[in-house]
Amino acid sequence: MLIKSLVYKKDYLTTVNEKATLEEALKVLEDSGYRCVPILDDSGTIFRGNIYKMHIYRHKSQGGDMSLPVTHLLKNATKTIKVDSPFFKVFFTIKDLPYITVLDEDNKFYGILTHNRLLSMLSDAWNLDSSSYVLTVLSDNDRGNLIKMTKIISKYTNLSSVLTLDGNLGTADYVRRTLFTLPNGVSEDTLKAIVNKLERKGFVVAEIEDLKTGTTIRKDEDPDQFNF
């Protein structure tokens, strides 16, 4: 249901009928200002693919027939997700696309999820306006590390958000990076106490970002800064 709330529904989108010519599709793209739009069937429910302005321009510059159907240059016909798809699938599917097409439970065209909408949602999840610091903490992959780190921090403050990133998966020097975002009101003394406690328990605080000043301290650049 999270994906559904982010989707631009088809009734508010610019689309091209599959029977349109390349010339007609180009006019739609130029008038709308979009670099690509979805191609739909006559019923407006079946997604055929996307048409990109640059592909039509290239075709035209090479003397191509502009009376050909728009489907002649369609792309991304299989690049779709379901409205109830798990969130991780979105990241594997959208990649370099300007948007990903979303289908409903009956495989009919529901709308699109844009890169910008997805990034805005992720930005909101960081709670930047109500946060103070982001700690990047390194650990191995031992069971229970996330709970241990969270318990340490929660003794001093609440958490705005937590994001875990994996590095060197499957190697002997496997490192897990966990980003803890602290809320507003965390003082420098509290920050020092958190860092010291994490370090004493064997975790490495590799980076501290001050969200208010925009400054970042990295341990590999200035380790003395971490000797609170």
In whole angstroms, give the CA distance from residue 60 to residue 54: 10
Class of domain 127-226: alpha beta
Question: Which one, of 167, 112, 155, 157, lies nearest residue 131 by Cα?
Answer: 157
3 and 83 Cβ atoms separated by less than 8 Å: yes
Question: Which one, of 207, 203, 219, lies nearest residue 145 by Cα?
Answer: 203
User: Under DSSP, is residue 162 helix (H, G, I), strand (E, B) or coil?
Assistant: strand
The pLDDT assigned to 171 comes to 45
Structure tokens at 121: 């949602």
What is the DSSP-derived secondary structure letter of residue 130? G
Strands (E), 67-125: 80-82, 99-103, 109-114
Find all residues with CB under 8 Å of 190, minimum gap 6, and list them: 156, 157
pTM tops 0.85: no
Q: How far apart are the first and last CA of the chain?
A: 45
Ordered per-residue pLDDT tens for the chain, 228 residues: 567 888 999 999 999 999 999 999 999 999 999 999 999 999 999 999 999 999 999 999 999 999 999 999 999 999 999 998 887 788 778 878 899 999 999 999 999 999 888 888 777 766 777 889 999 999 987 889 999 999 999 999 999 989 887 655 444 455 788 999 999 999 999 999 999 999 999 999 999 999 888 888 876 655 555 555
Just give the CATH number of 2-121. 3.10.580.10
Structure tokens at 181: 């975002």
- Would you say the CATH fold of 127-226 matches that of 2-121? no
- Sketch the domain layout of the chain as residue ranges: 2-121, 127-226
In whole angstroms, give the CA distance from residue 77 to residue 194: 50
Lay out the sheet containing 109-114: strands in order across. Answer: 8-9, 109-114, 99-103, 80-82
